[in-house]
Amino acid sequence: MAFEIKDNVALTALSEDGVEDTLVIDFPEIKFERHRYFTMRKRVQNAGKDSIHDTLEGREERLVRDRLHKVSRHIVEWSRQFEKPCIVFEDLKEMRDSIDYGTRMNRRLHHLPFRALQYYTSYKASFEGIPTAWIDPSYTSQRCPMCGHTERGNRNKKRFKCRSCSHQDHSDRGASVNIAVKGVKKLDWNVPALNSLPVVRKVRRQVSGAVDAPTVTHPTVRGYQADGRVGVSD
């Protein structure tokens, strides 16, 4: 299994027969709440009320931690349905440490909670006896999971369209497929042929922690019903 994390998590389950299932979990409230708390902290800081600033920072941290625990629990529960799963993560630490896109964009990128979500998911998985692996994230977002063509222009926000074979996909789901394939190679398992991909199912986590019913976003691609290994892409 592999996953891709931004304001959602894209999950892909891969077995020797191909891609068995995919799921995209949206949690946009984390980005919204972080921006809201950042604005409030700036206002009280400008007003010289440092004690309120620290209180707001603590509230934000607890809210984000609570949401990430709920999402990580959902990931592990989804993984358990497959036979002998292994969860594969992108190793993004060095990438985040090396970025410099200006003050505003750096703040947004460095506050993305992907490392915390990976950590929460990995230790919850360990309690369930599910191993984890880490792979190099190079080109996972730019590579076509069907033909292997790699080009920066393939991806545009949440849409992926390969300029070589014209395959279209949810961009984060496509990245999670590539991460799962890299994980299989790293573990020295047989890499399956990817002749088709299942439909993309999406669920949204509400601020309350409830999960909306899944919706299908790519109904023209057929799905699978077998057991498999799971890859999770950030």
pLDDT in tens, 116-148: 889 999 999 999 999 999 999 899 999 999 999
| Helices 50-79, 114-127: crossing angle, 10 deg rounding | 50
pLDDT band at 112 (very low <50, low <70, confident <90, very high): low
Mean pLDDT, all residues of the chain: 77
- pLDDT for 178 beyond 60: yes
Lowest mean pLDDT across 38-47, 59-68, 184-193, 218-227: 218-227
- CB-based contact 23:199 (threshold 8 Å): no
Rounded mean pLDDT of 203-217?
54
The larger pLDDT score, comparing residue 51 to residue 21, is at 21
How many angstroms separate the CA atoms of 2 and 182, rounded? Answer: 9
Residue located via tokens 């027969």: 17
Q: Which residues of 11-32 are buried (b: 16+ CB within 10 A; e: fewer)?
A: bbbbbeebbbbbbbbbbebbbe
The helix (run of H) or strand (run of E) holding residue 89 is strand 87-90
pLDDT in tens, 53-106: 666 666 777 878 888 899 999 999 999 999 889 999 998 775 555 555 555 544
pLDDT band at 227 (very low <50, low <70, confident <90, very high): very low
pLDDT band at 224 (very low <50, low <70, confident <90, very high): very low
Of 138, 126, 130, nearest to 91 by C-alpha is 138
- pLDDT for 190 beyond 70: yes
